[in-house]
Amino acid sequence: MPDIVFFNGSYLDRDQVRISPDDRGFLFADGIYEVVRFYGGRPFELQAHLARMVDGLRSLRIDGVEASTVETVVGELMDRNGLSGSDALLYLQITRGAAPRVHHFPDGETEPTVFASVRAFSSSVDPTVGAAVITAPDHRWTRCDIKTIALLPNCMAAQEAHERGALEAVLVRDGVALEGTRSSFFGVIDGEVRTAPRSNYILPSITRAVTLELCRENGIPCDERPILLEELDGADELFLSGTTTEILPIIQIDGRKVQDGLPGPVALRLAELFRARTESGTS
Ligand SMILES: Cc1ncc(COP(=O)(O)O)c(C=O)c1O
């Protein structure tokens, strides 16, 4: 299989990419990323991902990358890697570029570093099986709404989950269960689907927005209201959502079963509705 990637304006073999040791992504995690899913060769919610990318670049004041350019690159990468028509995953990363190491932004023109790659991908998680999660303190900064590459707190919590035999860690700040290290977090509490409201403490997740849309379209009561740690034990259901996770019921949290320890009906229904949405091509 070819592994052709995009790097600063060129299509190269992955092995040919050379990233400068002065790159501010390497030195300061000064950049953003996006992950986009393709179903049958069709990108899922690409415009929403591009809009979030543009917002992130604006927040970090990184100039010089247009959504339209990235859109062209994405299509080209799928073609060049023989993935047109396939299930695949795009990884895109943009940093402020390479410049002598000072904390403030480089003076003068610095070209951003743009890297993108695609690979064949299909889901390794099964909603009918569900997943175990743990809770962990949220040690991230207070701009979690920007999809930056500064993911160390996420990695630390994900490692703890991994070591405890769980798939994901749900991050808790000030007694509120906010989101996973790479997924959004939902509860079904008193018959209502709930997830943390949009704020600087969570990522404006694309799958989270689709999940809420599916609830509204299908008459499933839902609300964007904080889920308190103390509400977890009594919840009817808990579930995760995300680009790679899709919609995944949680069957165990911190070693305790969620209800009877089986995937809940609301999460399973949403997982089916989500799957139908990915197959319909209305993305
Ligand atoms: C912290 C966090 N929350 C939520 C998500 C899910 O976001 P999306 O649905 O846009 O993939 C991710 C994805 O990486 C994430 O890192």
Residue nearest to ligand 1 atom 7, measured at CA:
205
Task: Give distance in angstroms: CA of 80 to centre of ligand 1.
Answer: 27
In the reported structure, the alpha carbon of residue 241 is separated from the centroid of ligand 1 by a whole-number distance in angstroms of: 8
Active-site residues, by number, are 147
Domain ranges of the chain: 4-120, 131-280
What CATH superfamily is the domain 131-280?
D-amino Acid Aminotransferase, subunit A, domain 2 (3.20.10.10)
Instruction: For residue 151, count CB atoms less than 10 angstroms from its CB and return exposed for 0-12, middle for 13-18, buried for 19 or more.
Output: middle
| Pair 96, 62: CB distance under 8 Å | yes
121 CA to middle of ligand 1, Å?
Answer: 17
Mutate-to-test residue for ligand 1 from 36, 37, 205, highest number of ligand atoms within 8 A of CB: 205
Closest by CA position to 147, among listed 185, 98, 94: 94
CA-nearest residue for atom 2, ligand 1, is 182
- One digit per residue, pLDDT tens: the chain, 283 residues? 789 999 999 999 999 999 999 999 999 999 999 999 999 999 999 999 999 999 999 999 999 999 999 999 999 999 999 999 999 999 999 999 999 999 999 988 899 999 999 999 998 889 999 999 999 999 999 999 999 999 999 999 999 999 999 999 999 999 999 999 999 999 999 999 999 999 999 999 999 999 999 999 999 999 999 999 999 999 999 999 999 999 999 999 999 999 999 999 999 999 999 999 999 865 4
Residue nearest to atom 5 of ligand 1 (CA): 183
Alpha-carbon separation of residue 125 from 2, 51, 252 (angstroms): 26, 28, 15
Give the span between the Cα atoms of 23 and 238, in whole angstroms.
Answer: 40
4-120 against 131-280: fold identical: no
Give the CATH fold of the 4-120 domain.
D-amino Acid Aminotransferase; Chain A, domain 1 (3.30.470)
